[in-house]
Structure 1
Amino acid sequence: MVWWRVVPPFAPPRPRVRRLAVALAWAALTLLSACSTQPSRPNVILILTDDQLAASLALMPTLQRELVGEGVHLPNAFTSTPLCCPARVSLLRGQYAHNHRVRSNGGPEGGFPKLYDTGAEASSLATWLQGAGYRTALMGKYLNAYPYGPEGENPSGYRGPRVNYVPPGWSEWYGFIDVPRDPRNSPYAMYDYKINANGRIRHYGSRPQDYQTDVLAGLAVDFVRRSARRGPFFLLLAPTAPHLPAVPAPRHADAFRDLQAPRPPSFNADPQGKARWLELPPLSDADIAAIDATYRAQAQMLLAVDELLGSLLDALRETGTLDNTYLVFTSDHGWHSGEHRLFHLKLTPYDASVRLPLVIRGPGIPKGEVREHLVLNTDLAPTIAAWAGVSPPAWVDGRSLAPVLRPRPVPLEGWRQSVLTEFWPRRALGEDPEHRPTEHHPKVPVPQYRAVRTLGRLYVEYRYADGTREGELYDLTNDPFELTNLYAGADVALKAALAAHAEALQGCAGATCRALEDQAVP
């Protein structure tokens, strides 16, 4: 022992010194024992689907049992921009699109090239966690037009990375190559696609084992098993299911044979009284058949995602890491399946497009509970950072969901009172390439808008290319399906207050956004 060496030779230690030394030794051993039994920092797995309706969670049995039944369901979760690339950047950066400036899927103002051009990849959820000692991995879809967009659509003076580029912050990288309008490089093909596997481009063909969701499941399970004893890990798992074209795994091709798309009151509803861009004819029998066929195929695709979740849970149990792992399941935005005569479309401010599926399970989170609080996709990055013990940068707009997820949540009146939704149409081509006219779907030119949503109201301001404007206002308490536009007859002072709040939110940043969201809205 150290104390023995400081005693003069041949002299026994004094009783008082010996008692003190023994006490110190026991204290040290107790401290070491306590440290060894403290739980390690939690792991986090975030599963991010593409174009998934919030209601379709009910079609996933493993998710219902293992996440909804064992965690918290947040039914009032919304996307800040109902379009893939802006929404995914908002998730990774915790920002509204007006702050991260990626406004579309491509063109000079959108896609991966825009984010790369801004240099904003240098600070994201991935870099925050990796800097704190986490092993980080992305598997699946990153951003539209990764790693390069079509020639002529990139930001002015853009110099993109090499095809095998791996963004900062990722310890392991398995990102889908996505070149718009190039079927040889499409992440939406469930077969015959390419993955940048840690800097090496892998091509997957048309064999049964190449089915995209199953490949991701194998990669994810392998990562969990390898990472279980190597410190905390963060996995962003982003299958493109159930995005079109809807191609289910062959083993699920006969599932849900009689399933139809939901028929809420907004299905095929007359748009009279709404903004003029929604002047659409009634859905035909062929339209409705196409909607049902698509919904059924997308539901079948989600069965493979549900199996992926089951495989991950098995791996977590086998490695003894389940109790110390947060699992978050969500999507980038919703999807119209006939509501307001819209289908094969997102982009709108309406519930079908902006409401997210969101379920969270993990240490300290209650089981089988529902939280009605307003939640945004910008909240996920600061929430995961908080679980990891990391303070996000001051410019983050979102907030940690910890007060909502604890056993006794913050009251609704003490939480966010409004959320902003914002959308900009593409300027390079005038429309998003995913939404060009098809056999059963006309071109629907969704105009630029900003919208404020509360638990009881939806207020929308449209701005058309010719400079004209229109408004919509819905009483969600009495009209949850957004059928009756009250804007024309609404009180002038009310409309002015809502317009001022929308303008302030679209100009906010960081703590200012949270303060504005917390304000009571008329």
Structure 2
Amino acid sequence: MQLSTWIPLGVLLRILLAPKAVPTTPKRPGSDESQANLALENFPTSGEPNILFILTDDQDLRLDSLEYMPFLQRHLIKQGTLFQRHFCTTAICCPSRVSLWTGKSAHNTNVTNVSPPYGGYPKFVSQGLNDDWLFPWLQEAGYNTYYTGKLFNAHTVENYNSPFPSGFTGSDFLLDPYTYQYYNSTFQRNKNPPILHDGVYQTDLIAEKAYGFLSDAVNAGKPFFLAVAPTAPHANVKDGVFTEPQPARRHEKLFQNARVPRTDSFNPEKSSGANWVLELPQQNKSNVDYNDHLYRQRLRALQSVDEMIDGLITRLEQRGLLDSTYIIYTADNGYHIGQHRLQPGKTCGYEEDINVPLIVRGPEVPQNKVTDIVTTHTDLAPTIFSLLGLKLHSSFDGAVIPLTQQGLADAALSRHEHANVEFWGIAIPEGIHAGERPTNNTYKALRLVGRSFNLYYSVWCNNKKELYDLSTDPYQMYNLIATGSPNGTYTGNAALHLPGRSVLLPRLDALLLVLKSCVGNACINPWKSLHPTGEVRSLEDALKPQYNAYYTQLPRVEFTSCEIGYIIEAEGPQWAKYERQ
């Protein structure tokens, strides 16, 4: 998806009229620049880069939200590289964030849901990850580390100190059950008790705290990693009810005519998808109108994030740090609004939910560039290690993302073509039309983008299957595996020019079989697990006729039951077990 340079009129007027200083809430002790020396001093020259990491919550790439963020366009996209085929590996908050900060797939962290017993902060701690993740590693490498905003789900006013998250020079975390309340949030700074900020806009508070930590980092005289994690544009959540996000009052009237992009998959006349998605009714006018309202509220909520980007960039520039700082911008997962008749939310494997923003700006990173190479959240920790000159962990399930012109050119020819996607648990429809939460939403999926293929393949926990060729069906409307056919026969569009079922599906199943249980290098080079001598490095290689018999005798991906967490007995065949036979 090539982003256009068109900027909505409301956004253009806002950026032209906005003052350079970002509007924030009044200064509050213990949370902002009032505690730091704001002298415009340069960071000591040490040759070690700084990193600013901005992580939004539920932000879409496919529904054009980036086009409504002019400061992001100006400071990051025009001055950096947009990775338009970047994928989260689990389309929900906590498992995705744990994978991002550890470089490991969810089936290896065993944090597979947003709340106990299968996920959330308590699960993160119980798996021993509190001492084995990015922030302690960075401190061991001599970096000061700072974090403000949302960390994980189920990180609460009750368990914030049992134990404290490790690895931080300074921290100011949002805490449940107030994390998603835009005007009633609770923060917990360093080792201090939580403080409720009733009536103050959450993103502006996070901006204050980020500016303060940036000043702290400058004064400390060491290289730093600063993570800033606003919850926008996540739904507002109170008492378990998900409603539209709340923007700052100064943004409430923006984008009056914006609406969800009317793509082929938006509330289609004929149902699409598989499993429970295929059974969804078409949405009526009031439902569609509400979805458009929710879409506008998401865009409005992102304006404070956009202003914060401008504030952070301005301060880095004032301190002489901008040219020595890598800035990474991404979201934990994507978001759908009406596609495939879905109510607003995430948790599915469709492109809207898994294809998320990734923009990088920094030393030697090409400016105003868009790349098609495949990257995932598990690649981010290894990439940060590479930027800092650290030795990669053998347990990383991701590969370093190239960030130079030459590196990107080489990757276009040689980088792997796959993204592994996995999910456990229930679907979570949001908004006033949410309805019931489907429980059979566990699935394994494969996103494959090569020189001659652009495929999505998934197996649900009830063993329903989907296959889409996105080169001719970019909105995933035509499942090429017939519903109700246990053998998976192709239907419909003969112009797709895909190989026959008996040739293609066994290859996809085998690749997914490896990826759903892989560890380390097997996640990066899964074809080598299937062909140890190295003669096969892509799907195109694997499709050669001499391998037909080999793939036919391999086990298929299948589940024995639908579970809400990672229960190995329900996962069906495992490649590691098969490999040892």
- Which of residues 194, 203, 219 in structure 1 aligns to 2:195? 203
The 8 Å contact of residues 48 and 223 in structure 2, kept in 1 or not, is answered as yes
Q: Residue 140 of structure 2 aligns with which residue?
A: 131
Q: Partners in 2 of 1:416 and 1:459 — Cα distance?
A: 17
Change (3 A) 1:273 1:59: closer
Q: Which ranges in structure 1 are unaligned for 5 or more consecutive residues?
A: 1-35, 150-160, 179-184, 426-430
The amino acid of 1:48's aligned partner reads L
The 8 Å contact of residues 374 and 419 in structure 1, kept in 2 or not, is answered as yes
Q: Residue 503 of structure 1 aligns with which residue?
A: 513
Task: Look up the SS of the partner of 1:215 in the other structure.
Answer: helix
Q: Residue 193 of structure 1 aligns with which residue?
A: 185
Output one character per residue of 1:383-436: Cα deviation in whole Å (capped at 9) or x when no partner. 1111112223210101111266656522423001111100111xxxxx36x547
The 8 Å contact of residues 344 and 430 in structure 2, kept in 1 or not, is answered as no
Q: Partners in 2 of 1:442 and 1:123 — Cα distance?
A: 37
Q: Residue 484 of structure 1 aligns with which residue?
A: 478
How far off its partner does 1:272 sit?
4.1
Q: Partners in 1 of 2:222 and 2:538 — Cα distance?
A: 43
The amino acid of 2:229's aligned partner reads A
What CA RMSD, in Å, does the superposition of the two structures yield over aligned residues? Answer: 2.1
- Which of residues 442, 452, 460 in structure 2 aligns to 1:462? 460
Q: Partners in 2 of 1:113 and 1:411 — Cα distance?
A: 38
Q: Residue 393 of structure 2 aligns with which residue?
A: 393
Q: Partners in 2 of 1:91 and 1:517 — Cα distance?
A: 23
Change (3 A) 1:409 1:38: farther
Q: Partners in 1 of 2:262 and 2:179 — Cα distance?
A: 30
Q: Partners in 1 of 2:349 and 2:404 — Cα distance?
A: 25
Output one character per residue of 1:218-272: Cα deviation in whole Å (capped at 9) or x when no partner. 1111211221251110011100000002000000001111111111111012454
Q: Partners in 2 of 1:368 and 1:310 — Cα distance?
A: 17
State how 1:12-411 maps to structure 2 within 5 Å: 40-54=47-61, 55-147=64-156, 163=161, 165-178=163-176, 185-207=177-199, 210-229=200-219, 230-245=221-236, 246-270=245-269, 272=271, 274-278=273-277, 279-402=279-402, 406=406, 409-411=409-411
Output one character per residue of 1:335-389: Cα deviation in whole Å (capped at 9) or x when no partner. 1111101122201110011110111000111110111000101111111111112
How far off its partner does 1:201 sit?
2.6
The 8 Å contact of residues 89 and 377 in structure 2, kept in 1 or not, is answered as yes
The 8 Å contact of residues 129 and 390 in structure 1, kept in 2 or not, is answered as no
The 8 Å contact of residues 271 and 280 in structure 2, kept in 1 or not, is answered as no
Task: Look up the SS of the partner of 2:296 in the other structure.
Answer: helix
Change (3 A) 1:74 1:102: same
The amino acid of 1:325's aligned partner reads T
Q: Partners in 1 of 2:119 and 2:389 — Cα distance?
A: 32
How far off its partner does 1:440 sit?
4.9
The 8 Å contact of residues 85 and 111 in structure 1, kept in 2 or not, is answered as yes
Task: Look up the SS of the partner of 1:343 in the other structure.
Answer: coil
Task: Look up the SS of the partner of 2:311 in the other structure.
Answer: helix
Structure possessing the higher radius of gyration over alpha carbons: 1
Output one character per residue of 1:461-520: Cα deviation in whole Å (capped at 9) or x when no partner. 1112xxxx1111101111111000001334123111111110111111011111117831
Change (3 A) 1:162 1:217: closer
The amino acid of 2:323's aligned partner reads D
How far off its partner does 1:40 sit?
2.3
How far off its partner does 1:38 sit?
6.5
Change (3 A) 1:360 1:485: same
Q: Partners in 2 of 1:201 and 1:37 — Cα distance?
A: 34
How far off its partner does 1:332 sit?
0.4
Q: Partners in 2 of 1:259 and 1:298 — Cα distance?
A: 11
Percent identity among equivalent residues? 33
The 8 Å contact of residues 128 and 392 in structure 1, kept in 2 or not, is answered as no
Task: Look up the SS of the partner of 1:45 in the other structure.
Answer: strand
The 8 Å contact of residues 364 and 406 in structure 1, kept in 2 or not, is answered as no
Q: Partners in 2 of 1:68 and 1:364 — Cα distance?
A: 14
Change (3 A) 1:448 1:307: same
Number of equivalent positions: 458
Task: Look up the SS of the partner of 1:306 in the other structure.
Answer: helix
Q: Partners in 1 of 2:524 and 2:299 — Cα distance?
A: 36
The 8 Å contact of residues 344 and 441 in structure 1, kept in 2 or not, is answered as no
Q: Which moved more, 1:480-489 or 1:403-412?
A: 403-412
Output one character per residue of 1:50-101: Cα deviation in whole Å (capped at 9) or x when no partner. 0001131111000001100000000100000001000000000011101111
The 8 Å contact of residues 334 and 355 in structure 1, kept in 2 or not, is answered as yes
Change (3 A) 1:270 1:461: farther
Change (3 A) 1:291 1:517: farther
Q: Partners in 1 of 2:356 and 2:405 — Cα distance?
A: 17
The 8 Å contact of residues 313 and 322 in structure 2, kept in 1 or not, is answered as yes
Q: Residue 14 of structure 2 aligns with which residue?
A: none
Q: Which moved more, 1:444-453 or 1:60-69?
A: 444-453
Q: Partners in 2 of 1:231 and 1:95 — Cα distance?
A: 28
How far off its partner does 1:305 sit?
0.1
- Which of residues 461, 465, 468 in structure 2 aligns to 1:471? 465
Task: Look up the SS of the partner of 1:381 in the other structure.
Answer: helix
Q: Which moved more, 1:80-89 or 1:379-388?
A: 379-388
Q: Which moved more, 1:198-207 or 1:399-408?
A: 399-408
Greater relative contact order (CA < 8 Å, ≥ 6 in sequence): 1
TM-score (norm 2): 0.76
